[in-house]
Chain A
Amino acid sequence: MLVKQISVFLENKEGRVAQVTRILSDSAINIRALSIADTTEFGILRLIVDKPELAENALKKEGFTVSITEVIAISIADEPGGLAKALQVLHEDRISVEYIYAFISKTSHKANVILRVEDCGRATESLEAAGFLVLTAREVYDQ
Protein backbone atom coordinates (compact mmCIF):
# COMPACT_ATOMS: atom_id res chain seq x y z
CA MET A 1 0.00 0.00 0.00
CA LEU A 2 1.30 3.42 -1.03
CA VAL A 3 1.83 6.24 1.40
CA LYS A 4 -1.02 8.75 1.41
CA GLN A 5 -0.04 12.39 1.61
CA ILE A 6 -2.54 15.06 2.56
CA SER A 7 -2.33 18.42 0.78
CA VAL A 8 -4.17 21.47 2.09
CA PHE A 9 -4.77 24.75 0.23
CA LEU A 10 -3.84 27.77 2.34
CA GLU A 11 -4.05 31.46 1.68
CA ASN A 12 -0.97 33.36 2.72
CA LYS A 13 -2.41 34.87 5.83
CA GLU A 14 -1.69 34.68 9.50
CA GLY A 15 -2.62 31.68 11.59
CA ARG A 16 -3.64 29.26 8.82
CA VAL A 17 -1.03 26.57 9.54
CA ALA A 18 -1.75 26.93 13.26
CA GLN A 19 -5.44 26.31 12.51
CA VAL A 20 -4.62 23.11 10.56
CA THR A 21 -2.38 21.76 13.30
CA ARG A 22 -5.01 22.56 15.93
CA ILE A 23 -7.66 20.59 14.04
CA LEU A 24 -5.30 17.61 13.73
CA SER A 25 -4.40 17.82 17.39
CA ASP A 26 -8.07 17.86 18.39
CA SER A 27 -8.53 14.56 16.51
CA ALA A 28 -5.40 13.09 18.14
CA ILE A 29 -3.63 12.83 14.81
CA ASN A 30 0.14 12.75 14.83
CA ILE A 31 2.12 14.50 12.10
CA ARG A 32 5.06 12.45 10.82
CA ALA A 33 6.39 14.92 8.29
CA LEU A 34 5.37 18.12 6.60
CA SER A 35 6.47 20.55 3.97
CA ILE A 36 5.04 23.81 2.66
CA ALA A 37 5.25 25.06 -0.90
CA ASP A 38 4.47 28.74 -0.98
CA THR A 39 4.03 31.51 -3.52
CA THR A 40 3.30 35.16 -2.79
CA GLU A 41 -0.45 34.45 -2.96
CA PHE A 42 -1.01 30.98 -1.55
CA GLY A 43 0.62 27.95 -0.03
CA ILE A 44 0.20 24.19 -0.21
CA LEU A 45 0.75 22.38 3.05
CA ARG A 46 1.72 18.73 2.55
CA LEU A 47 1.46 16.34 5.45
CA ILE A 48 2.23 12.75 6.28
CA VAL A 49 0.16 11.72 9.30
CA ASP A 50 -0.57 8.51 11.18
CA LYS A 51 -4.31 8.50 10.28
CA PRO A 52 -4.69 10.07 6.81
CA GLU A 53 -8.43 9.34 6.28
CA LEU A 54 -9.33 10.75 9.69
CA ALA A 55 -7.19 13.83 9.02
CA GLU A 56 -8.79 14.37 5.61
CA ASN A 57 -12.30 14.25 7.08
CA ALA A 58 -11.46 16.47 10.02
CA LEU A 59 -9.96 19.17 7.78
CA LYS A 60 -12.76 19.03 5.21
CA LYS A 61 -15.30 19.35 7.98
CA GLU A 62 -13.64 22.62 8.97
CA GLY A 63 -13.90 23.92 5.40
CA PHE A 64 -10.39 23.32 4.07
CA THR A 65 -9.74 22.20 0.51
CA VAL A 66 -7.91 18.90 0.89
CA SER A 67 -6.55 16.36 -1.56
CA ILE A 68 -4.91 13.00 -1.09
CA THR A 69 -1.88 12.16 -3.20
CA GLU A 70 0.03 8.90 -3.25
CA VAL A 71 3.75 9.26 -2.66
CA ILE A 72 6.59 6.85 -1.98
CA ALA A 73 8.86 6.78 1.03
CA ILE A 74 12.32 5.31 1.09
CA SER A 75 14.63 4.71 3.99
CA ILE A 76 18.25 5.65 3.39
CA ALA A 77 21.40 5.83 5.43
CA ASP A 78 21.73 9.15 7.22
CA GLU A 79 25.17 9.87 5.74
CA PRO A 80 26.68 11.96 2.92
CA GLY A 81 25.60 10.72 -0.50
CA GLY A 82 22.65 8.67 0.73
CA LEU A 83 20.04 10.71 -1.15
CA ALA A 84 22.28 11.36 -4.14
CA LYS A 85 22.43 7.66 -4.99
CA ALA A 86 18.64 7.27 -4.90
CA LEU A 87 18.06 10.30 -7.11
CA GLN A 88 20.71 9.08 -9.55
CA VAL A 89 18.80 5.81 -9.94
CA LEU A 90 15.55 7.66 -10.71
CA HIS A 91 17.33 9.98 -13.11
CA GLU A 92 18.85 7.07 -15.02
CA ASP A 93 15.41 5.49 -15.34
CA ARG A 94 14.00 8.84 -16.53
CA ILE A 95 11.59 9.19 -13.63
CA SER A 96 11.12 12.84 -12.75
CA VAL A 97 10.55 13.94 -9.19
CA GLU A 98 7.93 16.70 -8.63
CA TYR A 99 9.04 17.44 -5.10
CA ILE A 100 10.80 15.87 -2.18
CA TYR A 101 11.11 16.22 1.59
CA ALA A 102 12.67 14.16 4.35
CA PHE A 103 12.59 13.38 8.06
CA ILE A 104 14.64 11.26 10.44
CA SER A 105 13.03 8.09 11.75
CA LYS A 106 13.20 7.94 15.53
CA THR A 107 13.13 4.10 15.49
CA SER A 108 15.62 3.25 12.75
CA HIS A 109 17.63 6.50 12.97
CA LYS A 110 17.69 6.46 9.22
CA ALA A 111 16.55 9.23 6.89
CA ASN A 112 13.06 8.75 5.46
CA VAL A 113 12.58 10.51 2.14
CA ILE A 114 9.15 11.30 0.69
CA LEU A 115 9.14 11.43 -3.10
CA ARG A 116 6.31 12.72 -5.28
CA VAL A 117 6.64 11.13 -8.73
CA GLU A 118 4.29 10.70 -11.68
CA ASP A 119 4.24 6.90 -11.54
CA CYS A 120 4.72 5.48 -8.04
CA GLY A 121 4.74 1.86 -9.23
CA ARG A 122 7.58 2.35 -11.70
CA ALA A 123 9.61 4.42 -9.22
CA THR A 124 9.19 1.72 -6.56
CA GLU A 125 10.38 -0.99 -8.93
CA SER A 126 13.33 1.09 -10.04
CA LEU A 127 14.44 1.90 -6.48
CA GLU A 128 13.92 -1.62 -5.18
CA ALA A 129 15.89 -3.07 -8.12
CA ALA A 130 18.78 -0.79 -7.09
CA GLY A 131 18.58 -2.15 -3.54
CA PHE A 132 16.75 0.70 -1.79
CA LEU A 133 14.27 0.04 0.97
CA VAL A 134 10.84 1.35 -0.03
CA LEU A 135 8.68 1.67 3.07
CA THR A 136 5.09 0.51 3.34
CA ALA A 137 2.40 2.97 4.36
CA ARG A 138 2.09 1.33 7.76
CA GLU A 139 5.82 1.62 8.37
CA VAL A 140 5.68 5.33 7.64
CA TYR A 141 2.53 6.07 9.67
CA ASP A 142 3.72 4.08 12.69
CA GLN A 143 7.29 5.39 12.83
Chain B
Amino acid sequence: MTIWNPKYECMGNDEKHSLQGDRLRETVAHVYGNVPFYKKKMDDAGILPGDIKGMDNLRDLPFTYKDDLRDNYPYGLFAVPMDEVVRIHASSGTTGKRTVVGYTRGDIDIWAEVTARTISACGATRSDILQNAYGYGLFTGGLGIHYGAEKIGMAVIPISGGNTKRQLELMLDFGSTIISCTPSYALYLAEVIEESGIDRSRIKLKAGIFGAEPWSENMRRDIERRLGVLALDIYGLSEIIGPGVSQECPEKCGLHINDDHFVPEIINPDTEEVLDYGEKGEIVFTTITKKALPLLRYRTRDISKLANEVCACGRTSVRMEKVTGRTDDMLIIRGVNVFPTQIESVLLELGETAPHYQLIVSKAGSMDALEVQVEMTEALFSDEVKRIEDLERKLRFNIESALAISAKVTLVEPKTLARSEGKAQRVIDNRNI
Protein backbone atom coordinates (compact mmCIF):
# COMPACT_ATOMS: atom_id res chain seq x y z
CA MET B 1 0.00 0.00 0.00
CA THR B 2 1.13 3.49 -0.80
CA ILE B 3 2.59 5.80 1.80
CA TRP B 4 1.99 9.29 0.48
CA ASN B 5 4.85 11.09 2.22
CA PRO B 6 7.37 8.58 3.66
CA LYS B 7 9.75 11.36 4.72
CA TYR B 8 7.29 12.54 7.36
CA GLU B 9 5.06 9.52 7.87
CA CYS B 10 8.02 7.19 8.53
CA MET B 11 10.31 9.73 10.23
CA GLY B 12 12.49 8.44 13.10
CA ASN B 13 11.40 9.32 16.62
CA ASP B 14 14.26 11.68 17.47
CA GLU B 15 13.98 13.57 14.23
CA LYS B 16 10.19 13.86 14.66
CA HIS B 17 10.60 15.07 18.25
CA SER B 18 13.00 17.77 17.18
CA LEU B 19 10.81 18.83 14.21
CA GLN B 20 7.76 19.02 16.48
CA GLY B 21 9.75 21.08 18.97
CA ASP B 22 10.80 23.60 16.29
CA ARG B 23 7.26 23.89 14.99
CA LEU B 24 5.79 24.20 18.49
CA ARG B 25 8.18 27.06 19.32
CA GLU B 26 7.18 28.90 16.15
CA THR B 27 3.49 28.37 16.83
CA VAL B 28 3.72 29.60 20.41
CA ALA B 29 5.56 32.75 19.30
CA HIS B 30 2.97 33.26 16.53
CA VAL B 31 -0.07 33.04 18.83
CA TYR B 32 1.58 35.04 21.62
CA GLY B 33 2.31 37.86 19.20
CA ASN B 34 -0.97 37.81 17.26
CA VAL B 35 -3.80 36.51 19.45
CA PRO B 36 -4.53 38.69 22.52
CA PHE B 37 -6.47 35.76 24.03
CA TYR B 38 -3.35 33.56 24.07
CA LYS B 39 -1.07 36.41 25.18
CA LYS B 40 -3.31 36.97 28.19
CA LYS B 41 -3.62 33.27 28.94
CA MET B 42 0.15 32.80 28.87
CA ASP B 43 0.84 35.99 30.80
CA ASP B 44 -1.64 34.89 33.47
CA ALA B 45 0.12 31.53 33.68
CA GLY B 46 3.51 33.26 33.81
CA ILE B 47 4.81 31.65 30.60
CA LEU B 48 6.73 33.51 27.92
CA PRO B 49 7.28 32.14 24.41
CA GLY B 50 10.98 31.84 25.25
CA ASP B 51 10.14 29.34 28.03
CA ILE B 52 8.99 26.85 25.42
CA LYS B 53 12.20 25.19 24.31
CA GLY B 54 10.71 22.09 22.75
CA MET B 55 8.20 19.28 23.07
CA ASP B 56 9.07 18.68 26.72
CA ASN B 57 7.46 22.04 27.55
CA LEU B 58 4.17 21.24 25.80
CA ARG B 59 2.47 20.44 29.08
CA ASP B 60 3.35 23.89 30.48
CA LEU B 61 1.03 25.53 27.96
CA PRO B 62 -2.58 26.43 28.77
CA PHE B 63 -5.50 24.42 27.41
CA THR B 64 -7.99 25.77 24.86
CA TYR B 65 -11.68 24.91 25.18
CA LYS B 66 -14.58 24.94 22.73
CA ASP B 67 -16.08 27.78 24.79
CA ASP B 68 -12.99 29.88 24.02
CA LEU B 69 -13.87 29.67 20.31
CA ARG B 70 -17.46 30.67 21.02
CA ASP B 71 -16.49 33.48 23.40
CA ASN B 72 -14.25 34.91 20.68
CA TYR B 73 -16.85 34.47 17.91
CA PRO B 74 -16.30 34.81 15.04
CA TYR B 75 -12.65 35.76 14.38
CA GLY B 76 -11.21 36.52 17.84
CA LEU B 77 -8.76 33.60 17.86
CA PHE B 78 -7.52 34.12 14.30
CA ALA B 79 -3.78 34.74 14.30
CA VAL B 80 -3.53 36.36 10.85
CA PRO B 81 -5.21 39.40 9.25
CA MET B 82 -8.36 38.57 7.26
CA ASP B 83 -6.42 39.41 4.06
CA GLU B 84 -4.56 36.15 4.52
CA VAL B 85 -7.65 34.04 5.22
CA VAL B 86 -8.89 32.21 2.13
CA ARG B 87 -11.51 29.89 3.62
CA ILE B 88 -13.97 29.87 6.51
CA HIS B 89 -15.84 26.81 7.78
CA ALA B 90 -18.27 26.65 10.69
CA SER B 91 -20.07 24.03 12.71
CA SER B 92 -23.28 24.37 14.64
CA GLY B 93 -22.85 25.58 18.20
CA THR B 94 -24.48 24.30 21.33
CA THR B 95 -26.51 27.39 22.05
CA GLY B 96 -26.87 28.85 18.59
CA LYS B 97 -23.38 30.32 18.31
CA ARG B 98 -21.27 28.55 15.75
CA THR B 99 -17.68 27.43 15.98
CA VAL B 100 -15.84 29.32 13.23
CA VAL B 101 -12.54 28.17 11.77
CA GLY B 102 -10.32 29.89 9.19
CA TYR B 103 -7.54 28.83 6.84
CA THR B 104 -4.72 30.63 5.05
CA ARG B 105 -3.64 29.41 1.63
CA GLY B 106 -0.81 27.57 3.40
CA ASP B 107 -3.29 25.96 5.83
CA ILE B 108 -5.33 24.69 2.87
CA ASP B 109 -2.12 23.15 1.46
CA ILE B 110 -1.44 21.45 4.81
CA TRP B 111 -5.01 20.17 4.87
CA ALA B 112 -4.66 18.77 1.35
CA GLU B 113 -1.36 17.15 2.35
CA VAL B 114 -2.80 15.38 5.41
CA THR B 115 -5.96 14.25 3.63
CA ALA B 116 -3.82 13.01 0.70
CA ARG B 117 -1.96 10.86 3.26
CA THR B 118 -5.19 9.54 4.73
CA ILE B 119 -6.78 8.72 1.39
CA SER B 120 -3.55 7.04 0.20
CA ALA B 121 -3.58 4.89 3.33
CA CYS B 122 -6.55 2.93 1.96
CA GLY B 123 -4.57 2.17 -1.19
CA ALA B 124 -5.90 4.96 -3.39
CA THR B 125 -3.70 6.33 -6.19
CA ARG B 126 -4.10 8.82 -9.03
CA SER B 127 -5.75 6.05 -11.10
CA ASP B 128 -8.70 5.91 -8.72
CA ILE B 129 -12.10 7.58 -8.95
CA LEU B 130 -13.38 8.99 -5.66
CA GLN B 131 -17.08 9.34 -4.96
CA ASN B 132 -17.00 11.94 -2.21
CA ALA B 133 -20.33 11.63 -0.43
CA TYR B 134 -19.43 13.84 2.54
CA GLY B 135 -21.43 17.05 2.67
CA TYR B 136 -19.91 20.01 0.86
CA GLY B 137 -20.42 23.38 2.51
CA LEU B 138 -19.80 24.83 5.95
CA PHE B 139 -19.09 21.28 7.18
CA THR B 140 -15.39 20.47 6.64
CA GLY B 141 -15.95 16.87 5.46
CA GLY B 142 -16.64 17.36 1.77
CA LEU B 143 -14.07 20.00 0.84
CA GLY B 144 -11.40 18.56 3.15
CA ILE B 145 -11.42 15.18 1.40
CA HIS B 146 -11.83 16.84 -2.00
CA TYR B 147 -8.55 18.78 -1.84
CA GLY B 148 -6.58 15.76 -0.62
CA ALA B 149 -7.93 13.56 -3.41
CA GLU B 150 -7.13 16.19 -6.05
CA LYS B 151 -3.63 16.50 -4.62
CA ILE B 152 -3.17 12.77 -5.16
CA GLY B 153 -4.49 13.26 -8.68
CA MET B 154 -7.60 11.15 -8.29
CA ALA B 155 -10.71 11.88 -10.33
CA VAL B 156 -13.05 13.37 -7.73
CA ILE B 157 -16.83 13.18 -8.04
CA PRO B 158 -18.05 15.94 -5.68
CA ILE B 159 -21.50 14.38 -5.28
CA SER B 160 -21.90 15.50 -1.62
CA GLY B 161 -24.28 13.74 0.77
CA GLY B 162 -27.75 12.30 0.23
CA ASN B 163 -29.76 11.48 -2.90
CA THR B 164 -29.11 7.76 -2.77
CA LYS B 165 -30.59 7.06 -6.21
CA ARG B 166 -28.08 9.42 -7.81
CA GLN B 167 -25.25 8.00 -5.68
CA LEU B 168 -25.91 4.53 -7.09
CA GLU B 169 -26.38 5.77 -10.64
CA LEU B 170 -23.02 7.56 -10.63
CA MET B 171 -21.31 4.75 -8.75
CA LEU B 172 -22.21 2.39 -11.62
CA ASP B 173 -21.92 4.77 -14.59
CA PHE B 174 -18.76 6.63 -13.50
CA GLY B 175 -17.06 3.54 -12.09
CA SER B 176 -16.22 4.92 -8.62
CA THR B 177 -13.46 2.88 -6.97
CA ILE B 178 -13.21 4.67 -3.62
CA ILE B 179 -16.06 6.14 -1.58
CA SER B 180 -15.99 8.55 1.33
CA CYS B 181 -19.04 9.05 3.57
CA THR B 182 -20.27 8.33 7.09
CA PRO B 183 -20.21 4.62 8.02
CA SER B 184 -23.96 4.57 8.56
CA TYR B 185 -24.54 5.96 5.09
CA ALA B 186 -22.20 3.29 3.69
CA LEU B 187 -24.37 0.60 5.31
CA TYR B 188 -27.48 2.26 3.97
CA LEU B 189 -26.01 2.21 0.46
CA ALA B 190 -25.22 -1.49 0.91
CA GLU B 191 -28.85 -2.14 1.89
CA VAL B 192 -30.21 -0.25 -1.09
CA ILE B 193 -27.84 -2.12 -3.43
CA GLU B 194 -29.02 -5.45 -1.99
CA GLU B 195 -32.68 -4.50 -2.38
CA SER B 196 -32.26 -3.21 -5.91
CA GLY B 197 -30.74 -6.48 -7.10
CA ILE B 198 -27.94 -4.66 -8.95
CA ASP B 199 -25.40 -7.02 -10.52
CA ARG B 200 -22.45 -6.81 -8.06
CA SER B 201 -19.88 -7.11 -10.83
CA ARG B 202 -20.94 -3.67 -12.05
CA ILE B 203 -19.75 -2.09 -8.76
CA LYS B 204 -16.06 -1.18 -8.90
CA LEU B 205 -15.66 0.05 -5.29
CA LYS B 206 -12.62 -1.37 -3.50
CA ALA B 207 -12.18 0.86 -0.45
CA GLY B 208 -14.04 3.36 1.66
CA ILE B 209 -12.97 6.17 3.98
CA PHE B 210 -15.58 6.39 6.67
CA GLY B 211 -15.77 8.91 9.48
CA ALA B 212 -17.55 11.84 11.12
CA GLU B 213 -19.27 9.48 13.58
CA PRO B 214 -18.25 6.68 15.94
CA TRP B 215 -18.54 3.12 14.60
CA SER B 216 -17.68 -0.34 15.81
CA GLU B 217 -15.67 -3.31 14.57
CA ASN B 218 -18.97 -5.11 13.97
CA MET B 219 -20.10 -2.31 11.73
CA ARG B 220 -16.78 -2.48 9.87
CA ARG B 221 -17.24 -6.21 9.21
CA ASP B 222 -20.78 -5.55 8.05
CA ILE B 223 -19.73 -2.80 5.63
CA GLU B 224 -16.78 -4.78 4.29
CA ARG B 225 -18.90 -7.86 3.65
CA ARG B 226 -21.97 -6.16 2.24
CA LEU B 227 -20.35 -3.36 0.25
CA GLY B 228 -17.32 -5.43 -0.73
CA VAL B 229 -14.76 -2.79 0.27
CA LEU B 230 -11.84 -2.27 2.63
CA ALA B 231 -13.44 -0.02 5.26
CA LEU B 232 -11.12 2.37 7.11
CA ASP B 233 -11.77 4.99 9.75
CA ILE B 234 -10.83 8.65 9.35
CA TYR B 235 -10.86 11.15 12.21
CA GLY B 236 -10.83 14.88 12.39
CA LEU B 237 -12.50 17.93 13.82
CA SER B 238 -12.87 21.32 12.25
CA GLU B 239 -11.13 23.13 15.11
CA ILE B 240 -7.91 21.19 14.42
CA ILE B 241 -8.28 21.19 10.61
CA GLY B 242 -11.21 18.96 9.61
CA PRO B 243 -10.89 15.39 8.31
CA GLY B 244 -7.30 14.22 8.06
CA VAL B 245 -6.14 14.59 11.65
CA SER B 246 -5.71 10.81 11.71
CA GLN B 247 -6.55 7.74 9.64
CA GLU B 248 -6.35 3.96 9.80
CA CYS B 249 -4.06 1.97 7.52
CA PRO B 250 -5.00 -1.54 6.33
CA GLU B 251 -3.43 -2.98 9.49
CA LYS B 252 -6.49 -1.61 11.32
CA CYS B 253 -4.64 -1.14 14.58
CA GLY B 254 -5.48 2.45 15.46
CA LEU B 255 -5.52 5.71 13.53
CA HIS B 256 -2.18 7.21 12.47
CA ILE B 257 -2.06 10.80 13.66
CA ASN B 258 -0.39 13.27 11.33
CA ASP B 259 1.74 14.26 14.30
CA ASP B 260 4.16 16.43 12.34
CA HIS B 261 1.17 18.84 12.17
CA PHE B 262 -1.06 17.93 15.12
CA VAL B 263 0.54 16.85 18.38
CA PRO B 264 -1.66 14.60 20.53
CA GLU B 265 -1.82 14.19 24.29
CA ILE B 266 -4.15 12.10 26.44
CA ILE B 267 -5.32 13.69 29.65
CA ASN B 268 -7.55 12.88 32.57
CA PRO B 269 -10.52 15.12 31.74
CA ASP B 270 -11.20 15.95 35.39
CA THR B 271 -7.69 16.66 36.69
CA GLU B 272 -6.16 17.67 33.30
CA GLU B 273 -3.17 15.50 34.21
CA VAL B 274 -1.29 14.12 31.19
CA LEU B 275 -1.56 10.32 30.88
CA ASP B 276 0.85 7.79 29.42
CA TYR B 277 0.62 5.79 26.22
CA GLY B 278 -2.00 3.08 26.58
CA GLU B 279 -4.03 4.97 29.17
CA LYS B 280 -7.55 5.95 28.28
CA GLY B 281 -8.59 9.59 28.55
CA GLU B 282 -9.53 12.70 26.59
CA ILE B 283 -7.49 13.37 23.49
CA VAL B 284 -6.03 16.87 23.22
CA PHE B 285 -4.37 18.35 20.12
CA THR B 286 -1.93 21.18 19.57
CA THR B 287 -1.65 22.38 15.97
CA ILE B 288 2.00 23.19 15.18
CA THR B 289 1.87 24.31 11.53
CA LYS B 290 -1.50 25.98 10.96
CA LYS B 291 -1.38 29.78 10.70
CA ALA B 292 -4.91 31.19 10.63
CA LEU B 293 -6.28 29.36 13.68
CA PRO B 294 -3.49 27.70 15.65
CA LEU B 295 -4.80 26.07 18.81
CA LEU B 296 -2.76 25.13 21.87
CA ARG B 297 -3.80 21.95 23.67
CA TYR B 298 -7.35 21.92 22.36
CA ARG B 299 -9.74 19.85 24.49
CA THR B 300 -11.60 17.68 21.95
CA ARG B 301 -13.85 15.94 24.52
CA ASP B 302 -13.26 12.72 22.53
CA ILE B 303 -12.16 9.67 24.51
CA SER B 304 -9.29 7.59 23.13
CA LYS B 305 -5.81 6.30 23.99
CA LEU B 306 -2.44 6.52 22.27
CA ALA B 307 0.05 3.90 21.05
CA ASN B 308 3.57 4.62 19.83
CA GLU B 309 4.90 1.24 18.69
CA VAL B 310 5.89 1.25 15.02
CA CYS B 311 3.06 -0.09 12.88
CA ALA B 312 3.52 -3.02 10.52
CA CYS B 313 2.68 -0.65 7.64
CA GLY B 314 5.95 1.20 8.27
CA ARG B 315 4.50 4.46 9.51
CA THR B 316 6.11 5.71 12.71
CA SER B 317 3.39 8.20 13.67
CA VAL B 318 1.62 7.91 17.00
CA ARG B 319 -1.70 6.09 16.71
CA MET B 320 -4.96 6.78 18.51
CA GLU B 321 -7.57 4.17 19.28
CA LYS B 322 -10.95 4.62 17.54
CA VAL B 323 -12.85 7.25 19.51
CA THR B 324 -15.07 5.40 21.96
CA GLY B 325 -17.05 8.18 23.58
CA ARG B 326 -17.27 11.77 24.74
CA THR B 327 -16.56 13.53 28.00
CA ASP B 328 -19.51 15.87 27.36
CA ASP B 329 -23.08 15.23 26.26
CA MET B 330 -22.50 15.72 22.53
CA LEU B 331 -24.16 13.17 20.29
CA ILE B 332 -23.25 12.41 16.71
CA ILE B 333 -26.37 11.68 14.70
CA ARG B 334 -25.98 10.93 11.00
CA GLY B 335 -22.55 12.56 11.15
CA VAL B 336 -23.93 15.78 12.63
CA ASN B 337 -22.87 17.00 16.08
CA VAL B 338 -25.88 17.48 18.32
CA PHE B 339 -25.97 18.92 21.83
CA PRO B 340 -29.13 18.41 23.90
CA THR B 341 -29.00 22.09 24.86
CA GLN B 342 -29.77 22.99 21.23
CA ILE B 343 -33.17 21.35 21.70
CA GLU B 344 -33.61 23.30 24.92
CA SER B 345 -33.03 26.58 23.04
CA VAL B 346 -35.76 25.67 20.56
CA LEU B 347 -38.18 24.79 23.36
CA LEU B 348 -37.40 28.02 25.19
CA GLU B 349 -38.77 29.93 22.21
CA LEU B 350 -42.19 28.59 23.20
CA GLY B 351 -42.28 30.32 26.57
CA GLU B 352 -40.38 31.34 29.65
CA THR B 353 -39.52 27.86 30.83
CA ALA B 354 -38.65 24.98 28.57
CA PRO B 355 -40.87 21.94 28.96
CA HIS B 356 -39.16 18.73 30.03
CA TYR B 357 -37.72 16.85 27.05
CA GLN B 358 -35.74 13.81 26.06
CA LEU B 359 -33.77 12.78 22.98
CA ILE B 360 -34.12 9.19 21.87
CA VAL B 361 -31.60 8.05 19.30
CA SER B 362 -32.03 4.72 17.58
CA LYS B 363 -31.21 2.88 14.39
CA ALA B 364 -33.85 2.74 11.67
CA GLY B 365 -32.18 0.11 9.52
CA SER B 366 -28.64 1.40 9.19
CA MET B 367 -29.49 5.07 9.60
CA ASP B 368 -29.72 6.98 12.86
CA ALA B 369 -33.16 8.22 13.83
CA LEU B 370 -33.79 11.00 16.31
CA GLU B 371 -37.00 11.35 18.27
CA VAL B 372 -37.56 14.31 20.57
CA GLN B 373 -40.15 13.68 23.26
CA VAL B 374 -41.59 16.79 24.86
CA GLU B 375 -43.80 16.77 27.93
CA MET B 376 -47.08 18.59 27.45
CA THR B 377 -47.56 21.65 29.66
CA GLU B 378 -50.66 23.67 30.42
CA ALA B 379 -49.24 26.58 28.47
CA LEU B 380 -48.87 24.44 25.34
CA PHE B 381 -52.04 22.40 25.68
CA SER B 382 -55.25 23.17 23.81
CA ASP B 383 -58.60 21.43 23.56
CA GLU B 384 -58.25 21.60 19.76
CA VAL B 385 -56.35 18.92 17.83
CA LYS B 386 -55.25 21.30 15.09
CA ARG B 387 -53.49 23.59 17.56
CA ILE B 388 -51.53 20.72 19.06
CA GLU B 389 -50.65 19.46 15.59
CA ASP B 390 -49.50 22.98 14.67
CA LEU B 391 -47.30 22.94 17.75
CA GLU B 392 -45.77 19.60 16.73
CA ARG B 393 -45.10 20.90 13.23
CA LYS B 394 -43.53 24.09 14.51
CA LEU B 395 -41.27 22.17 16.90
CA ARG B 396 -40.23 19.76 14.16
CA PHE B 397 -39.41 22.65 11.82
CA ASN B 398 -37.47 24.62 14.45
CA ILE B 399 -35.52 21.57 15.60
CA GLU B 400 -34.59 20.78 12.01
CA SER B 401 -33.43 24.35 11.44
CA ALA B 402 -31.37 24.34 14.63
CA LEU B 403 -29.76 20.91 14.24
CA ALA B 404 -29.65 20.51 10.46
CA ILE B 405 -31.09 17.01 10.82
CA SER B 406 -34.69 15.86 10.80
CA ALA B 407 -36.35 14.66 13.97
CA LYS B 408 -39.66 13.14 14.96
CA VAL B 409 -41.42 15.16 17.64
CA THR B 410 -43.70 13.34 20.08
CA LEU B 411 -45.70 15.10 22.75
CA VAL B 412 -46.03 13.05 25.91
CA GLU B 413 -47.89 13.36 29.19
CA PRO B 414 -46.24 15.28 32.04
CA LYS B 415 -43.90 13.41 34.40
CA THR B 416 -43.53 10.48 32.01
CA LEU B 417 -39.89 11.12 31.00
CA ALA B 418 -37.27 9.49 33.19
CA ARG B 419 -35.59 11.60 35.86
CA SER B 420 -32.75 10.20 37.84
CA GLU B 421 -31.80 11.64 41.24
CA GLY B 422 -33.63 14.82 40.39
CA LYS B 423 -31.46 15.35 37.34
CA ALA B 424 -33.14 15.02 33.99
CA GLN B 425 -31.96 12.22 31.75
CA ARG B 426 -31.79 14.09 28.47
CA VAL B 427 -30.58 11.37 26.16
CA ILE B 428 -31.41 7.73 25.57
CA ASP B 429 -29.09 6.27 22.96
CA ASN B 430 -30.28 2.86 21.78
CA ARG B 431 -27.83 2.55 18.91
CA ASN B 432 -25.35 0.10 20.52
CA ILE B 433 -22.40 1.46 18.59
Q: List the interface of chain A (C-beta within 8 A of B).
A: 5, 7, 9-11, 16, 37, 39, 41-42, 44, 46, 63-67, 69, 98-99, 116
CB-defined contacts of B410 to chain A, threshold 8 Å: 41
Please, how many angstroms separate the alpha-carbon atoms of A99 and B410 in the complex?
24
CB-defined contacts of B415 to chain A, threshold 8 Å: 63
Q: List CB contacts (< 8 Å) of B342-392 with chain A.
A: 376-378, 381-385, 388-389, 392
B330 at the interface (CB under 8 A from A): no
* Docked-complex contact B411 and A67, CB < 8 angstroms: no
* Docked-complex contact A64 and B411, CB < 8 angstroms: no
Contact of A67 among B382, B389, B392, B412 (CB under 8 A): B382
Contact of A44 among B377, B385, B412 (CB under 8 A): B385
CB-defined contacts of A44 to chain B, threshold 8 Å: 383-385, 388
* Docked-complex contact A65 and B381, CB < 8 angstroms: yes
- In the A-B complex, the 7 residue pairs with the smallest Cβ-Cβ separation, listed nearest first, are A7-B383, A65-B376, A69-B383, A9-B376, A63-B415, A65-B381, A37-B385
Closest to A46 in B: B383
CB-defined contacts of A63 to chain B, threshold 8 Å: 413-415
* Docked-complex contact B411 and A7, CB < 8 angstroms: no
B416 at the interface (CB under 8 A from A): yes
Please, how many angstroms separate the alpha-carbon atoms of A66 and B388 in the complex?
14
* Docked-complex contact A67 and B413, CB < 8 angstroms: no
Please, how many angstroms separate the alpha-carbon atoms of A37 and B377 in the complex?
18
Please, how many angstroms separate the alpha-carbon atoms of A11 and B411 in the complex?
8
Contact of A10 among B384, B392, B413 (CB under 8 A): B413
* Docked-complex contact B378 and A66, CB < 8 angstroms: yes
Closest to A67 in B: B381
Q: List 11 A-B contacts (CB under 8 A).
A: A11-B411, A11-B413, A11-B416, A37-B385, A39-B389, A41-B410, A41-B411, A64-B414, A65-B414, A99-B384, A116-B384
CB-defined contacts of A9 to chain B, threshold 8 Å: 376, 381, 388, 411, 413
* Docked-complex contact B385 and A67, CB < 8 angstroms: no
Most buried by B among A39, A41, A116: A41
CB-defined contacts of A5 to chain B, threshold 8 Å: 383
Given that A65-B376, A65-B377, A67-B378 are contacting pairs, would A98 and B384 also be in contact in the complex, using a CB cutoff of 8 Å?
Answer: yes
Closest to A43 in B: B385
Closest to A16 in B: B413
Closest to A42 in B: B411
Please, how many angstroms separate the alpha-carbon atoms of A67 and B414 in the complex?
14
Please, how many angstroms separate the alpha-carbon atoms of A21 and B378 in the complex?
20
Please, how many angstroms separate the alpha-carbon atoms of A41 and B415 in the complex?
17
Provide the B135-169 mask, 1 if CB < 8 A to any CB of A, else 0.
00000000000000000000000000000000000
CB distance from A96 to the nearest CB of B (A): 12
Please, how many angstroms separate the alpha-carbon atoms of A7 and B376 in the complex?
13
Given that A46-B383, A69-B383 are contacting pairs, would A64 and B388 also be in contact in the complex, using a CB cutoff of 8 Å?
Answer: no
Additional 9 contacts, C-beta under 8 A, given A44-B384, A67-B378:
A5-B383, A9-B376, A11-B413, A37-B385, A39-B385, A41-B392, A41-B410, A99-B384, A116-B384
* Docked-complex contact A64 and B413, CB < 8 angstroms: yes
CB-defined contacts of B416 to chain A, threshold 8 Å: 11
Q: List CB contacts (< 8 Å) of B380-423 with chain A.
A: 381-385, 388-389, 392, 410-416
Please, how many angstroms separate the alpha-carbon atoms of A86 and B236 in the complex?
69
